[in-house]
Amino acid sequence: MKRYLPTRWGFIFLEAYGPLPYEDKIYLVEQAAEMYFKEENKREIKTDGLEGIIITKGEHGVIGSFGGQKYSARVENDYGKSKLSFLISEQTGFSHYSTTVH
């Protein structure tokens, strides 16, 4: 697992549809978090048995009382295709997406 500065923390919400093992879901959550910290809008995913893309259009979403950056992914593995949605809600008071227009 990748390590980030201890002063930045938050929640990542994941919604996944399709035949995707738990380990692949965790890997994709890590990739979306890394995209958030690096302010990337698109990332190609290619590993042994998993291929696809994660994107963000700079949109903000809300789940209950948590708001944050929205990401989506489409990936394929040996079992078929999967769609995923992520919401990254940073809680440290620092959010580069709250002041940056993409």
CATH topology of domain 18-90: S-adenosyl-L-methionine-dependent methyltransferases (2.20.130)
Q: How many C-beta atoms surround the C-beta of residue 92 within 10 A?
A: 11
23-36 pLDDT, tens per residue?
999 999 999 999 99
pLDDT digits (tens, 9 = 90+) for 42-57: 999 999 999 999 999 9
Residues of the chain with pLDDT under 70: 1-6, 94-102
Place of tokens 């489409």: 74
Rounded CA-CA distance 95/10 in Å is 10
Ordered by start, the domain boundaries in the chain are: 18-90
CA-to-CA dists, residue 89 to 15, 42, 46, angstroms: 14, 18, 26
Question: In this predicted structure, what is the pLDDT of residue 12?
Answer: 96
pLDDT of residue 92: 84
Question: Tokens for 37?
Answer: 């910290």
